[in-house]
């Protein structure tokens, strides 16, 4: 009964939500600068008569839709609003008008789906018990993550949600489908910054210098032991150095080499142990060569933990919504996502929204200049968010 109403409304509001998405897509803003996007969202909420509060952690917005007995239970739905520093290469009517900035990770889709769910839930507010909290957050793509700032600003209090849901576009699956993984789903992601310093000198007189290039080479190779020898083989871990910079020419030993990388894993205890091992190994290796070193591993995002019970229920709800043939099981992945912060405070479920067309079109991956979606996915996205909220309120 309520499911058919949600589906009818997803069809009814499709054109409106599609236009909203086109507007947000054409006007992308970088992390923590989502000023116009937030104003646009606030304007829609106001038009629909939904109470909201803007300016949370900068550009964040929270809104509340109250059903009957609003104090009884509360479910949160979250979307991220920021875009990436990528020049869009799609030739579409709603192409990015902000040079060098693009919604290449689909956060325009997430925001549009949440607005769609808000519109639907607001219509149905006499038909559910409890309240739904909508969280539009800034800066998912940038350290320290808008989610951590929103939590610090109190979005998980007054009222405290019983659980939280979010979706993310997924070009590997077709529109009309969704994907889930209970338990650990996405990795913690921490950045590593190492600067090695030594005495520079003539390449032909290495005994009079400290060869920072040789130290860096040994260090990069040696640090891989954290994955191959230190990590429990049953815990996924990855260490990648994406930047190494030092030196100028063939015959000079440089004074300084900088190395930057990322460490990712799926276990919070091991994550801390690994950081310590990486630091200790770096300090002792450089000391053995007589080089000075500084190493910093600023804390990034924790791993996304999908509450198994909540996610198990969500899979059942998705089966009812989309048909079990359209509900897929997902593998773990080593990419990061700041929704993880919420999942370490309250039970959370982060699921994937299929966005390609029949596995033939819209296959460009996220963070790619050609990324776009089959927009029929907006119906599934807004409907699923509303449907999950109403089911979770009852369970
Ligand atoms: Ni994203």
How far, in Å, is the centroid of ligand 1 from the Cα of 168?
Answer: 7
Is-catalytic flag, 11? no
Ligand 1 centroid–CA 118 distance in Å is 21
From the CA of 142, how far away is ligand 1's center (Å)?
11
Find, among 26, 169, 31, the residue nearest to 88 by Cα: 26
Residue 1 pLDDT? 87
In a 13 Å sphere around the CA of 28, the CA atoms on its Cβ side amount to 28
Grouping H, G, I as helix, E, B as strand and the rest as coil, residue 284 is: helix
What is the average pLDDT across 269-288? 98
82 is catalytic: yes
Task: List, in sequence order, every beta strand (DSSP E) within 247-326.
Answer: 252-253, 256-265, 292-296, 304-306
pLDDT digits (tens, 9 = 90+) for 169-213: 999 999 999 999 999 999 999 999 999 999 999 999 999 999 999
Where residue 301 falls among pLDDT bands split at 50, 70, 90? Answer: very high
The whole-model pTM stands at 0.94
Residues across the chain: 395
Cα separation, 344 vs 95, in Å, equals 37
pLDDT of residue 271: 98
Going from the Cα of 313 to the center of ligand 1, the distance in angstroms, rounded, reads 24
Please identify, in words, the CATH class of the domain defined by 2-187+301-394.
alpha beta
Centroid of ligand 1 to alpha carbon of 84 (angstroms): 9
Q: What is the pLDDT of residues 23-55, one digit of tens each?
A: 999 999 999 999 999 999 999 999 999 999 999
What are the angstrom distances between the C-alpha of 114 and each of 80, 121, 123, 295?
A: 10, 10, 14, 41
The pLDDT of residue 249 is above 90? yes
The single residue of 140, 190, 197, 307 carrying the catalytic annotation is 140
Structural domain spans, the chain: 2-187+301-394, 190-296
- Binning the chain into helix, strand and coil, the percentages to the nearest 5 are 35, 30, 35
Question: How remote is the CA of residue 167 from the centroid of ligand 1, in Å?
Answer: 10
Quote the ligand 1 centre to 239 CA distance (angstroms). Answer: 21
Q: How confident is the model at residue 383 (pLDDT cuts 50, 70, 90)?
A: very high
Q: In angstroms, what CA-CA distances link 196 with 26, 235, 287? A: 44, 30, 10
Q: Is the pLDDT of residue 266 over 90?
A: yes
Predicted pLDDT at 393: 98
For 146-156, the pLDDT digits (tens) are 999 999 999 99
Q: Write down the catalytic residue from 82, 88, 211, 375.
A: 82
Q: Same CATH fold, 190-296 and 2-187+301-394? A: no
Q: Which fold has domain 190-296?
A: Alpha-Beta Plaits (3.30.70)
- Ligand 1 centroid–CA 7 distance in Å is 26
How far, CA to CA in Å, does 206 sit from each of 200, 280, 321?
9, 26, 69
């Amino acid at each position: 009964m309520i499911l058919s109403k949600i589906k009818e409304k997803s069809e009814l509001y499709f054109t409106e939500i599609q236009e909203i998405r086109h507007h947000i897509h054409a006007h992308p803003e970088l992390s923590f600068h989502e000023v116009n996007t937030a104003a646009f969202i606030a304007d829609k909420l106001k038009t629909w008569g939904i109470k909201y509060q803007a300016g949370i952690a900068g550009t964040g917005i929270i809104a509340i839709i109250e059903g009957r007995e609003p104090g009884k239970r509360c479910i949160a739905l979250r979307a991220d609003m920021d875009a990436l520093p990528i020049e869009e290469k799609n030739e579409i009517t709603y192409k990015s008008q902000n040079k060098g900035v693009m919604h290449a990770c689909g956060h325009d889709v997430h925001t549009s789906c949440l607005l769609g769910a808000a519109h639907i839930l607001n219509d149905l507010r006499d038909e559910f018990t409890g309240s739904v909290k909508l969280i539009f957050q800034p800066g998912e793509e940038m350290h320290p993550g808008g989610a951590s700032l929103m939590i610090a600003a109190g979005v998980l209090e007054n009222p405290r949600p019983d659980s939280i849901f979010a979706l993310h576009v997924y070009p590997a699956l077709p529109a009309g489908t969704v994907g889930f993984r209970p338990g650990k789903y996405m990795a913690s992601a921490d950045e590593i910054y190492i600067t090695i310093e030594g005495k520079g000198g003539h390449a032909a007189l290495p005994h009079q210098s400290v060869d920072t290039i040789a130290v860096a080479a040994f260090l990069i190779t040696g640090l891989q032991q954290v994955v191959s020898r230190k990590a429990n083989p049953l815990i996924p871990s990855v260490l990648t150095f994406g930047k190494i910079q030092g030196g100028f020419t063939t015959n000079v030993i440089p004074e300084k080499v900088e190395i930057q990388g990322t460490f990712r894993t799926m276990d919070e205890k091991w994550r801390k142990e690994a950081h310590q091992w990486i630091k200790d190994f770096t300090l002792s290796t450089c000391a053995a060569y007589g080089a000075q070193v500084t190493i910093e591993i600023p804390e990034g995002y924790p791993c996304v933990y999908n509450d198994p019970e909540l996610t198990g229920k969500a899979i059942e709800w998705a089966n009812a919504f989309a048909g079990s043939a359209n509900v897929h099981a997902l593998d773990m992945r080593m990419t990061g996502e700041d929704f993880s912060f919420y999942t370490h405070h309250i039970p959370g479920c982060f699921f994937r929204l299929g966005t390609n067309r029949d596995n033939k079109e819209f296959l460009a991956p996220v963070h790619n200049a050609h990324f776009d979606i089959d927009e029929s996915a907006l119906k599934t996205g807004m409907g699923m968010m509303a449907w999950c909220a109403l089911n979770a309120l009852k369970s």
